[in-house]
């Protein structure tokens, strides 16, 4: 604990130093001519972020990858999970059932931000696959967990404990049309498994972009692979409006999706047969509204306020191939949250200081339950980045979060006795502090280094071995970034990292009977249930991400190669899913006149999941497009043309062995036509 307070003192001294430097000679500093230099990897549209935004990243954050609208069109993903799977440092595995996708960064959970709104873990997993990739303007993967302004330090209702933000996935939907005179685009595509998509996006502005408006709509429907129960139908609507002036920047965004989704049947790892469960969600309705206001007081001071509200409602039907579907009744569920984020920034040529606060409220009603869980997290943070020289910058940050359990859930003692969690109680504080450095060694080389310390309290919901009180989790994170811009043909970025985690919460098995040997019953359904028992354990995570990319031959040809290496010293895949030790990705594209072709390759190494080997697959995607008269573009594409029906997760072992794993549908081909005017 002494190390924690020493680090807080160090952060405080740093803040005093930087604020003193900013305040003493502000005018002098602002008028100082900075040394001439070339910044490599400087963000450009659509990556550019205002300094006052909570998504603004310090220069020491190197572990970032952004896919633009152009990249997404080139990759031709089936859904957002394809983009996650392709990106550096991220791992995607699919579970099915209510939560049908999971994503991880460097062995831990990531948070999802949609149009500036923080999505709780349950909601993000429930609806992320329903976001049409055709309606996404950019998707950014931030693998650095020490960026503290974006989301809370604590999980909602989670039994896994730990920090939920081992990185972020930031998704921005389309808020403008294509680069044409009137900014309107129509698209339609048809692909394997009777998959049809049609969409339209338009963006307009008036009075030199003082007023902006955009709208988009997409219809998606797919029969799915025969017998696999993975059909989908969805409608998506986007509306965005903005006002921009010297005195106020305002933006309002609305995202709405209504869908019907069949939940793919699992394949037994023992028999190879599809499971009898053929569940369906009808409907899954998601509504998200965000309001962003920024008041620039002068050239240095700005205040920003974000309000976000989102809700996903759905009804589950637990159909089976062995029973009459007419005998099944629907079970309702709801995930919702609302968020306030207030931040004030003071920026000069050398210094950027921010102070902010965030509140997120969570509501969660599980299928078949009549009592919901509600929690609130309140957080406060301060960050500062100071440029000592034009080639050397430092940054520091501090954040503290505290959770209030408005309406709690249930937990069990090790003897099987059910305990109701107290309502209206506050948890202990979660804490993070970070330090960063960035050096532009010369026009070609840039070096960064970051350290952060997390302390996260143990959730009350945990059932522990012998009902013991587990200590708080502590995480020490070290990360280095190396970027080299040799020329247009060779640009290299590497981000080695090492995490030392003390008192991580891990599964220690399950209990299914109480002290008298009687089965433990679910408090709602009354059915026998298993309860996971947790213990604490020290873990070490380390690895790196390597990216090499460039363009050559008069910029006709371009390439991008990626390598993710990850090691978890304590995971063996027996108690759950772990990550592959190695993942490789590659992309090759060429452009000539109206022609364009993109080839993407992904290889995921083998890894163990509940004692069963998954991963170990290679997929190849290919697209060829031709832009013809009147901005009509025709694209032919093939997905997973190696026809690898790979799996990324074993549902459970041995109790739930009948669940098995979800497999990819294999090869798919299609054609897309777009018209811009």
DSSP secondary structure letters along 55-109? T---TT---EEEEEHHHHHHH--SSHHHHHHHSTTEEEE---SSS--EEEETTEE
Q: What tokens appear for 554 in the block?
A: 């008069």
In a domain, residue 22? The reply is no
Beta bridge partners of 364: 335, 373
In a domain, residue 304? The reply is yes
Domain range for residue 385?
46-676
Q: What tokens appear for 620 in the block?
A: 């190849």
- Please state, in angstroms and rounded to a whole number, the distance separating the CA atoms of residues 343 and 56: 12
Which pLDDT score is estimated for 590? 92
What's the CATH number where 394 sits?
Answer: 2.40.170.20
Nearest CA among 483, 457, 451, 486 for reference residue 470: 457
Which pLDDT score is estimated for 164? 57
Contacts of residue 179, defined as CB under 8 A and 6 or more positions apart, other chains included, come to: none
559: pLDDT strictly greater than 90: yes
In a domain, residue 10? The reply is no
Q: How confident is the model at residue 557 (pLDDT cuts 50, 70, 90)?
A: very high
Q: How confident is the model at residue 307 (pLDDT cuts 50, 70, 90)?
A: very high
Q: What tokens appear for 590 in the block?
A: 């060429």
HEC profile of 391-446: CEEEEEEEEEEEEEEEECCEEECCCCCEEECCCCEECCCEEEEEEEEEEECCCCEE
pTM (2 d.p.): 0.86
Which pLDDT score is estimated for 420? 72
Residue 255 phi, psi (nearest 5)? -125, 130
Q: What 3-state DSSP class applies to 136?
A: strand
Numbers of helices and strands, H then E, in the chain: 5, 36
Determine whether 255 is exposed, middle or buried from the number of CB atoms within 10 Å of its CB (0-12, 13-18, 19+): buried
- Asked if 293 and 248 count as a contact pair (C-beta separation under 8 A), the reply is yes
State pLDDT tens for residues 71-83: 898 888 888 988 9
In a domain, residue 23? The reply is no
Element (H, E) at 2: helix 2-24
Which pLDDT score is estimated for 46? 41
Which pLDDT score is estimated for 91? 87
First to last CA, the chain: 62
In a domain, residue 515? The reply is yes
- Asked if 426 and 378 count as a contact pair (C-beta separation under 8 A), the reply is no
Which pLDDT score is estimated for 288? 95
State pLDDT tens for residues 437-485: 999 999 999 999 999 999 988 877 778 888 888 888 899 999 999 999 9
State pLDDT tens for residues 613-650: 899 999 999 999 999 887 899 999 999 999 999 998 88
- The alpha-helical segments, DSSP class H, found in 109-185 are 121-127
In a domain, residue 3? The reply is no
Q: What 3-state DSSP class applies to 3?
A: helix
Beta bridge partners of 140: 66, 170
State pLDDT tens for residues 498-542: 999 998 887 777 778 777 778 887 766 677 877 778 888 888 999
Neighbours of 61 (CB within 10 A): 22
Contacts of residue 309, defined as CB under 8 A and 6 or more positions apart, other chains included, come to: 117, 288, 289, 290, 336, 337, 338, 339
Q: Are strands 168-173 and 111-114 parallel, antiparallel or unpaired?
A: parallel
- For tokens 């490789």, name the residue: 584
Nearest CA among 427, 401, 346, 335 for reference residue 151: 401
- Asked if 72 and 83 count as a contact pair (C-beta separation under 8 A), the reply is yes
Which pLDDT score is estimated for 41? 33
- The alpha-helical segments, DSSP class H, found in 518-607 are none
Contacts of residue 491, defined as CB under 8 A and 6 or more positions apart, other chains included, come to: 40, 41, 483, 484, 485, 548, 549, 550
Mean pLDDT of the chain: 84
Which pLDDT score is estimated for 597? 94
According to DSSP, residue 330 is labeled -
- Please state, in angstroms and rounded to a whole number, the distance separating the CA atoms of residues 424 and 438: 44
677: pLDDT strictly greater than 90: no
35: pLDDT strictly greater than 50: no
434: pLDDT strictly greater than 90: yes
Q: How confident is the model at residue 424 (pLDDT cuts 50, 70, 90)?
A: confident
Q: What tokens appear for 616 in the block?
A: 């170990």
- Please state, in angstroms and rounded to a whole number, the distance separating the CA atoms of residues 473 and 450: 20
104: pLDDT strictly greater than 90: no
Q: Length of the chain, please?
A: 677
* Least confident residue range of 215-224, 458-467, 487-496: 458-467
Q: What 3-state DSSP class applies to 584?
A: strand
- Please state, in angstroms and rounded to a whole number, the distance separating the CA atoms of residues 204 and 240: 10
Q: What tokens appear for 647 in the block?
A: 């799996």
Q: Measuring CA to CA, how many Å separate 47 from each of 64, 69, 665? A: 11, 11, 33
Give, in degrees to the nearest 5, the angle at Cα 477 between 473 and 483.
Answer: 160
Average pLDDT of the residues in 36-63:
62
In a domain, residue 41? The reply is no
State pLDDT tens for residues 139-166: 999 988 777 888 888 888 765 545 556 7
- Asked if 125 and 100 count as a contact pair (C-beta separation under 8 A), the reply is yes
Neighbours of 64 (CB within 10 A): 22
Q: How many domains does the chain have?
A: 1
Percent of the chain having pLDDT more than 70? 87
In a domain, residue 34? The reply is no
Neighbours of 28 (CB within 10 A): 8
- Asked if 427 and 498 count as a contact pair (C-beta separation under 8 A), the reply is no
- Asked if 279 and 95 count as a contact pair (C-beta separation under 8 A), the reply is no
CB-based burial, 111-150: b 16+ in 10 Å, e otherwise: bbbbbbbbbbbbbbbbbbbbbbbbbbbbbbbbbbbbbbbb
Q: How confident is the model at residue 433 (pLDDT cuts 50, 70, 90)?
A: very high
Q: How confident is the model at residue 609 (pLDDT cuts 50, 70, 90)?
A: confident
Nearest CA among 135, 134, 144 for reference residue 165: 144
According to DSSP, residue 577 is labeled B
According to DSSP, residue 120 is labeled P
Average pLDDT of the residues in 574-603:
89
């Amino acid at each position: 604990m002494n190390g924690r307070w020493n680090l807080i003192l160090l952060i405080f001294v740093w803040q005093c130093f930087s604020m003193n430097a900013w305040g003493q000679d502000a005018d002098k500093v602002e008028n100082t001519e900075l040394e001439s230099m070339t910044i490599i990897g400087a963000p450009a549209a659509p990556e550019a972020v205002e300094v006052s935004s909570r998504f603004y990243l310090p220069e020491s954050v190197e572990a970032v990858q952004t896919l633009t609208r152009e990249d997404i069109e080139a990759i031709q993903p089936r859904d957002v999970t394809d983009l996650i799977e392709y990106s550096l440092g991220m791992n995607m595995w699919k579970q099915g059932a209510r939560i049908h996708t999971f994503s991880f960064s460097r062995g831990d959970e990531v948070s999802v931000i949609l149009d500036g709104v923080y999505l709780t873990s349950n909601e993000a997993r429930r609806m992320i696959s329903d976001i049409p990739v055709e309606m996404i303007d950019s998707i950014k993967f931030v693998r650095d967990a020490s960026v503290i302004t974006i989301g809370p330090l604590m999980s909602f209702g989670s039994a896994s404990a730990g920090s939920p933000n081992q990185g972020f996935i930031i998704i921005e939907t389309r808020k403008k049309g294509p680069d044409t005179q009137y900014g309107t685009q129509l698209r339609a595509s048809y692909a394997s498994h009777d998959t049809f998509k049609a969409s339209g996006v338009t963006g307009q502005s008036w009075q030199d972009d003082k007023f902006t408006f955009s709208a988009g709509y997409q219809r998606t429907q797919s029969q799915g692979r025969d017998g696999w129960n993975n059909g989908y139908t969805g409608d998506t609507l986007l509306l965005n409006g903005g006002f921009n002036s010297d005195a106020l920047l305002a933006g309002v965004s609305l995202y709405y999706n209504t869908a019907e989704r069949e939940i793919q049947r699992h394949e037994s790892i023992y028999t190879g047969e599809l499971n009898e469960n053929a569940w369906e969600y009808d409907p899954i309705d998601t509504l998200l509204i965000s309001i962003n206001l920024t008041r620039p007081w002068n050239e240095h001071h700005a205040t920003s306020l974000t309000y976000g509200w989102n809700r996903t409602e759905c009804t589950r039907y637990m159909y089976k191939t062995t029973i009459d579907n007419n005998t099944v009744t629907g079970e309702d569920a709801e995930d919702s949250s609302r968020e306030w984020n207030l931040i004030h920034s003071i920026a000069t040529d050398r210094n950027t200081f921010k102070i902010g606060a965030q509140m997120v409220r969570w509501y969660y009603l599980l299928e078949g339950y009549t009592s919901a869980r509600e929690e609130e997290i309140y957080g406060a943070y301060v960050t500062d980045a100071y440029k000592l020289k034009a080639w050397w910058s430092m940054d520091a940050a501090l954040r503290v979060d505290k959770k209030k359990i408005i309406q709690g859930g249930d937990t069990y003692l090790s003897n099987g006795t059910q305990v109701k969690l107290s309502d209206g109680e506050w948890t202990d504080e979660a804490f993070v502090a970070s330090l960063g450095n960035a050096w532009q060694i010369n026009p070609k080389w840039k070096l960064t280094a970051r350290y952060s310390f997390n302390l996260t309290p143990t959730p009350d919901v945990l059932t522990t071995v012998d009902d013991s009180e587990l200590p708080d989790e502590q995480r020490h994170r070290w990360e280095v970034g190396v970027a080299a811009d040799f020329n247009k043909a060779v640009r290299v970025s590497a981000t080695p990292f090492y995490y030392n985690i003390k008192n991580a919460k891990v599964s220690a098995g399950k209990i299914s009977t109480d002290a008298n040997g009687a089965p433990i019953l679910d408090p709602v359904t009354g059915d026998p249930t298993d309860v996971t028992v947790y213990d604490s354990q020290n873990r070490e995570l380390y690895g790196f991400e390597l990216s090499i990319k460039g363009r050559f031959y008069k910029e006709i040809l371009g390439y991008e190669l990626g390598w993710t290496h990850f090691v978890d010293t304590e995971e063996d895949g027996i108690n759950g899913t772990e990550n592959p030790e190695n993942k490789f990705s590659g992309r090759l594209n060429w452009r000539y006149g109206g022609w364009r072709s993109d080839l993407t390759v992904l290889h995921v190494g083998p890894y163990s999941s509940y004692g069963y080997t998954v991963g170990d697959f290679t997929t190849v995607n290919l697209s060829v497009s031709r832009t013809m008269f009147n901005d009509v573009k025709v694209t032919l594409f093939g997905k997973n043309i190696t026809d690898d029906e790979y799996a990324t997760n074993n549902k459970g072992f041995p109790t739930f062995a009948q669940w098995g794993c979800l497999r990819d549908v294999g090869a798919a081909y299609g054609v897309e036509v777009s018209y811009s005017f």
